Amino acid sequence: MNTTLSLLKPTGHLTLGNLLGALRPMALAQDGSDCFYGVCDLHALTVAQDPARLRASVREVATLLLAAGLERSTLFIQSHVPSHSELAYLLESTAYVGELNRMIQFKEKGRGQPSTRASLFTYPTLMAADILLYRPTQVPVGEDQRQHVELTRDLAIRFNATYGPVFTVPELVRPALGARVMDLADPSSKMGKSHADGSGIIYLLDSPDVIRRKVARAVTDSDTGSDAVRRDPVNKPGVTNLIELLEAAGGSLESITTYGALKTATTEVVVELLRPLQVRYAELAQHPDHVQARYAAGAARCREVTAPVLLDAQAAMGIG
Ligand code: ATP
Ligand code: MG
């Protein structure tokens, strides 16, 4: 059976974009592959976090993964599996400053700023460890993480050539096609959980009233023609986003001719899509012990699965 691996950063409340673009494909992958899904709290530390908020965010994301139907997977919290940071250090000791310096995300988010955390610079090696520890043969990757996964391959190839064949070099593949949801208030940018202005972002735990209000205020345009409700990503990004959201959430455009009707229908399907998830979340939130036990068992399995890979890497390098 092939191995599927995916990590979510606990850097805010999860959004409808995360559900349709990530959690839904992750749930589907459970058929036919051994899935490891983690909350990557260590990656969150590459920028300043309030400790109490980080803890709350980890708990919320962990509970949401269960509520979103990932219960057939091995669920874990990254910092509970120490081999991730141990292997990251070994990989840091094979990576070159030059190649880390070329990472686009580092260039855009931190290079040249004196108070950028060192971990923002080295985190691609932690990400490489996250992947290589589980020996997946394929890694589905979207555009924004492509360069990091290519680096993962380079590090694995270099390690194997220098120290002996320890790592499986994963192949990059296209991700299962999830929807891409844009910000309702700014349809030129992705709906992202860490954006400061949440007015155009639907969070998974938003109440029906809040969802209604956010969709009602979604940016459209002043087109009043009989064919105003149509896809046109270039000239009508807001309307296009609402149509795609409506359809991704299970609705249909049939007989919808006005923006008002489009917004009402979109609100309805989104509220219905989120209802069972929110009910399940509320139940799980009443039983934190159950959630904790699931993640403790998941971390135990991760420690077991990753231990031989770490040991092999250590032995090959002459330590451990
Ligand atoms: P951040 O603002 O911190 O980057 P994010 O919401 O973009 O947060 P990520 O942690 O970057 O979330 O990504 C988690 C997963 O959710 C990834 O698989 C990513 O492709 C997916 N995802 C994030 N936002 C969207 C979106 N708007 N539409 C579809 N998929 C999304
Ligand atoms: Mg993102």
Q: Tell me if 273 is assigned to some domain.
A: yes
With 0-12 / 13-18 / 19 or more C-beta atoms within 10 angstroms meaning exposed / middle / buried, residue 163 is: middle
Q: Tell me if 191 is assigned to some domain.
A: no
Q: Looking at the chain, how many residues does it have?
A: 320
With 0-12 / 13-18 / 19 or more C-beta atoms within 10 angstroms meaning exposed / middle / buried, residue 74 is: buried
Name the active-site residue from 193, 214, 236, 263.
193
Q: Is 214 a catalytic residue?
A: no
User: Under a CB-based contact definition with an 8 Å cutoff, are residues 217 and 184 in contact?
Assistant: yes
User: Under a CB-based contact definition with an 8 Å cutoff, are residues 170 and 160 in contact?
Assistant: no
Same domain, 166 and 250: no
Give the pLDDT band (50/70/90) at residue 226: confident
Q: Tell me if 44 is assigned to some domain.
A: yes
Closest ligand 1 atom to residue 12 Cα is 3
Q: What number is the average pLDDT over the span 176-185?
A: 87
Round to whole Å and give the CA distance between 43 and 240: 33
Q: Tell me if 232 is assigned to some domain.
A: yes
Q: What number is the average pLDDT over the span 205-226?
A: 95
Same domain, 13 and 153: yes
User: Under a CB-based contact definition with an 8 Å cutoff, are residues 75 and 66 in contact?
Assistant: yes
Q: Tell me if 233 is assigned to some domain.
A: yes
pLDDT tens for each residue of 238-295: 999 999 999 999 999 999 999 999 999 999 999 999 999 999 999 999 999 999 999 9
pLDDT above 90 covers a percentage of the chain that reads 90
Residue 306 has pLDDT above 90, yes or no: yes
Q: Tell me if 154 is assigned to some domain.
A: yes
pLDDT value of position 80: 98
What residue numbers bound the domain in which 42 lies?
2-178+288-317
What CATH number has the domain bearing residue 74?
3.40.50.620
Same domain, 143 and 36: yes
pLDDT value of position 89: 98
Residue-averaged pLDDT of the chain: 95
Same domain, 278 and 301: no
Name the active-site residue from 107, 190, 214, 236.
190
Residue 194 has pLDDT above 80, yes or no: yes
What are the phi and psi torsion angles at 103 (to 5°)?
A: -70, 125
Cα first-last separation, the chain: 30
Q: Is 109 a catalytic residue?
A: yes
Residue 197 has pLDDT above 80, yes or no: yes
Round to whole Å and give the CA distance between 82 and 79: 6
Q: Which two tokens stand for residue 21?
A: 């673009």
pLDDT tens for each residue of 71-83: 999 999 999 999 9
Closest ligand 1 atom to residue 6 Cα is 18
Give the count of domains, the chain.
2
What CATH number has the domain bearing residue 251?
1.10.240.10
Same domain, 259 and 309: no
Is any atom of ligand 1 closer than 6 Å to the C-beta of 241? no
Question: What are the residues whose beta carbons fall under 8 Å from the beta carbon of 155, sequence distance 6 or more?
Answer: 91, 94, 95, 125, 128, 132
pLDDT value of position 196: 84
Residue 177 has pLDDT above 90, yes or no: no
3-class secondary-structure state, position 269: helix
Q: Tell me if 13 is assigned to some domain.
A: yes
Pocket probe mutation, ligand 1, options 5, 15, 16, 18, max atoms within 8 Å of Cβ: 18
Percentages helix, strand, coil for the chain (3-state, rounded to 5) are 55, 10, 35
pLDDT tens for each residue of 83-141: 999 999 999 999 999 999 999 999 999 998 999 999 999 999 999 999 999 999 989 88
Round to whole Å and give the CA distance between 71 and 281: 13
pLDDT tens for each residue of 2-14: 999 999 999 999 9
Q: What secondary structure does DSSP assign to 72-129, as a single string? A: TSEEEEGGGSTHHHHHHHHHHTTS-HHHHHT-HHHHHHTTT-TT--HHHHHHHHHHHH
What are the phi and psi torsion angles at 35 (to 5°)?
A: -100, 130
Is any atom of ligand 1 closer than 6 Å to the C-beta of 15? yes
User: Under a CB-based contact definition with an 8 Å cutoff, are residues 239 and 262 in contact?
Assistant: yes
Q: Would you put residue 56 in left (φ > 0), alpha (ψ -120 to 50) or beta?
A: alpha
Same domain, 57 and 84: yes
User: Which residue, among 314, 270, 309, 285, has the nearest Cα to 36 in the 3D structure?
Assistant: 309
pLDDT value of position 208: 98
